[in-house]
């Protein structure tokens, strides 16, 4: 079994940009003669991450049949250690939080999952922290919403999380939510509701839904929102009616802002009181 360091190096080599490794293999395995190699005038350089050519040796200006093995060795060594300084800084910072030797107990995937959450989006976990405002949990609209979420692919569920929470993964457990609920709020101010998109307030993990008439309309509007309303807090954009006109006049916008302020106040109070 390879050591963690060997596995790490192997993974780094595998992930090097797609043209780098094939280029090295071409140089290493090329059956050209010495004269043909000289005619290629291949520089004894390697591109760094920013695209600048780095001279690998002061002794060689070009790759030849005789020095090509040395070139391959130096090129791989450079790319593997190009970010040693940055990695060292990251390692030093991590060591202030977690003893570095303990990290070798986990694979890269396990560490990623513990820190970032699972790339899969378990809906039962999202349902367990869901609360509802302006609608009963048993209402048809809520039933349609979860049916649509069930039908979403993992990518679409990640897009949904980005839309409502500004992140693409869920925490690993309910405890990791730290008391933060996923709030689904249904408002009757959208008229007609089927002409409006959902809204989100990422700071509060809040999704606002018009009272859509059927599951098909809900799915269509939700998919549009998660694919095309990509910037965080673009509530004004998401509130545009399908006709292209503003969804509401100034008074309605003021009312909407009051809704947000009211919810923010409620959420802050709940957080402070531990509810």
> Could you list the active site residues?
203
Asked whether the beta carbons of 247 and 190 are under 8 A apart, the reply is: yes
Question: How far is the C-alpha of 187 from the C-alpha of 115, rounded, in Å?
Answer: 36
With both helix axes pointing from N to C terminus, report the angle between 215-228 and 154-165 in degrees, rounded to the nearest 10: 70
Q: At a CB cut-off of 8 Å and minimum separation 6, what does 21 contact? A: 13
Task: Tell me whether the omega of the peptide bond preceding residue 192 falls within 30 degrees of 0, making it cis.
Answer: yes
Question: How far is the C-alpha of 69 from the C-alpha of 58, rounded, in Å?
Answer: 16
The β-bridge relationship of strands 182-187 and 206-210 is parallel
CA distances for 71 relative to 64, 68, 74, 77, 189, angstroms? 9, 5, 5, 10, 69
The β-bridge relationship of strands 182-187 and 199-201 is unpaired
Question: How far is the C-alpha of 57 from the C-alpha of 71, rounded, in Å?
Answer: 9
| Phi, psi of 206, rounded to the nearest 5 degrees | -120, 130
């Amino acid at each position: 079994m390879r050591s963690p360091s060997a596995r790490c190096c192997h993974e780094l080599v595998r992930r090097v940009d797609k043209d780098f490794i094939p280029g090295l293999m071409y140089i290493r395995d090329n059956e050209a003669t010495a004269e043909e190699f000289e005619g290629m005038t291949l520089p004894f350089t390697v591109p760094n991450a920013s695209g600048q050519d780095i001279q690998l040796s002061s002794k060689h200006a070009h790759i030849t049949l005789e020095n090509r093995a040395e070139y391959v060795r130096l090129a791989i060594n450079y790319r593997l250690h190009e970010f040693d300084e940055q990695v060292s800084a990251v390692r030093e910072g991590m060591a202030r939080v977690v003893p570095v030797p303990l990290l070798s107990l986990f694979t890269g995937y396990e560490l990623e999952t513990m820190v970032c959450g699972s790339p899969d989006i378990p809906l039962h976990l999202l349902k367990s922290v869901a609360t509802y405002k302006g609608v009963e949990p048993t209402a048809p609209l809520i039933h349609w919403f979860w049916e649509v979420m069930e039908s979403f692919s993992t990518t679409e569920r990640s897009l949904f999380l980005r839309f409502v929470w500004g992140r693409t993964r869920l925490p690993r457990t309910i405890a990791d939510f730290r008391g933060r609920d996923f709030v689904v709020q249904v408002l009757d101010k959208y008229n007609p509701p089927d002409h409006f998109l959902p809204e989100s307030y990422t700071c509060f993990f809040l999704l606002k839904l018009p009272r859509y008439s059927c599951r098909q309309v809900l799915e269509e509007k939700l998919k549009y929102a998660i694919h095309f309303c990509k910037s965080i807090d673009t509530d004004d954009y998401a509130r545009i009616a399908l006709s292209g006109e503003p969804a509401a006049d100034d008074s309605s916008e003021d009312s909407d802002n009051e809704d947000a302020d009211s919810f923010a106040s409620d959420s802050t109070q709940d957080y402070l009181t531990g509810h």
